[in-house]
Structure 1
Amino acid sequence: MDHPLWSKISCYSIGPADAAFGFAQRLARENGWTVAYAGRVIEEYRRFCFLAVTAGQEVTPSDAVDQAWHLHLTYTRDYWARFCPDVLGCALHHRPTAGGDAERHRFFDQYAATLKAYEAVFGLPPADIWPGAQRRLVDDPKAWRVTPRDYLIISRTSLRRWSLFALAGLTAAILFWWRS
């Protein structure tokens, strides 16, 4: 893409260049992602920031992009003193929902419009980072984030498999007990 703002955003590096634990590593650790996936999310965050400044409408990030934005906001000096004024040329404020049906509808429509704006500028967004509006704003908010060190996480497939083994074992134990 040949746009002066995109040129500035695309070569911008978040955080101090000499950090032993960089932005991508931190983003990956805090979200349970690989560093490669975090790098892809950071690229999508750059694209989101470009759209936020150029789309002519409010834009809504995907959840993964929002995680990158949240983390970038914690790098306050970098975000407010370098990124916004020197790269974007304006303040980019994070505006979370106030809740309620009207807000849900507004963000649903806004996210769908963001995906259309994205496609017009960058082509189809990667579905693993930018899911459809239904998933992003209806299905995913019903979930909650867990830390693997605090919870035992078992996939539904594994749970079904282990349940069948347990049921078979219990049945065998009952039959053995009954016959003796």
Structure 2
Amino acid sequence: MRKAPGPAAEAPDHPIWSALSYYTFGPEDASLPFAERLARDNGWSRAHAERVIEEYRRFAFLAVTAGHPVTPSDAVDQAWHLHLTYSRDYWERFCPGLLGRPLHHGPTAGGADEQHRYFSQYAETLRSYERVFGRPPADLWPDAAQRLNEDHKARRVHPRDALIVPRRVVRIVSLTAVAMLFALALGALLLRS
């Protein structure tokens, strides 16, 4: 069983929040616990995954108490997606036992109207978050303009489908390649002389 959050993470005195604060996602006896799988699947540290899970708790609380549709940040959405794959936990324990109702995940249908609705809904989610929990952590809950900007949307690549090379390696290889080309050009000039 999970420990209750400390004073910095306190939320309203509400039975749903109390239940969420102690909830363990997925089977408690799993060899690969929920947080470790979330970290592994997204290339995050365990500490970062734990922070995202805490924000997922807050999102779920808002989903059933805010009085309006809510939209998660990208990181929180990844926790939600993973939780949905634990279908028995999600549909038989979490939704009926903690939230008291189903919490369906509906992807965008696309188009300008849908983009406007999504933007407005996410912005309202941030306002509700701030009213209930205080200012959201910007690294996990970017503002609406940043969240919906095409350049900031996450692109998921699975290691079995692609070669993933860290940027620092690309920079080193690029510098090495430039140095080699320079040496070859210099060598060619010296041979001509």
Task: Indicate whether the TM-score tops 0.5.
Answer: yes
How far did 1:159 drift?
Answer: 3.8
Shift of 1:152: 3.0
- Which 4+ residue blocks in structure 1 deviate beyond 4 angstroms? none
Matched residues, number: 178
Q: Give 1:8 shift.
A: 0.9
1:113 aligns with 2:111: no
Q: Secondary structure at the match of 1:179?
A: helix
Distance (whole Å) between structure 2 residues aligned to residue 66 and residue 36 of structure 1: 17
**Equivalent in the alignment of 2:3:** none
Q: Find 2:91's aligned residue among 57, 75, 80.
A: 80
- Structure 1 gap ranges (5+): none
Aligned with residue 152 of structure 2, among 140, 156, 180: 140
Match of 2:6 in 1: none
Aligned-pair CA distance for 1:17 = 1.3
Matched residue type, 1:21: L
Aligned ranges for residues 6-25 of structure 1 at < 5 Å? 6-25=17-36
SS at match of 1:113: helix
User: What's the counterpart of residue 30 of structure 1?
Assistant: 41
> TM-score, normalized by length of structure 1?
0.91
The CA RMSD over aligned residues, in Å, is 1.6
Counterparts in 2 of 1:152 and 1:12: CA distance versus 1, 3 Å: closer
1:151 aligns with: 163
Find the counterpart in structure 1 of residue 133 from structure 2: 122
Shift of the 74–152 alpha-carbon distance from structure 1 to 2, 3 Å rule, reads closer
The residue type paired with residue 18 of structure 2 is: S
Q: Which runs of 5+ in 2 are unaligned?
A: 1-10
Q: Give the fraction of aligned pairs with identical amino acids, expressed as a percent.
A: 62
The TM-score normalised by the length of structure 2 is 0.86
Distance 1:168 1:29 in 2: 36
CA distance in 2 between counterparts of 1:114 and 1:81 reads 26
Aligned position for 1:93? 104
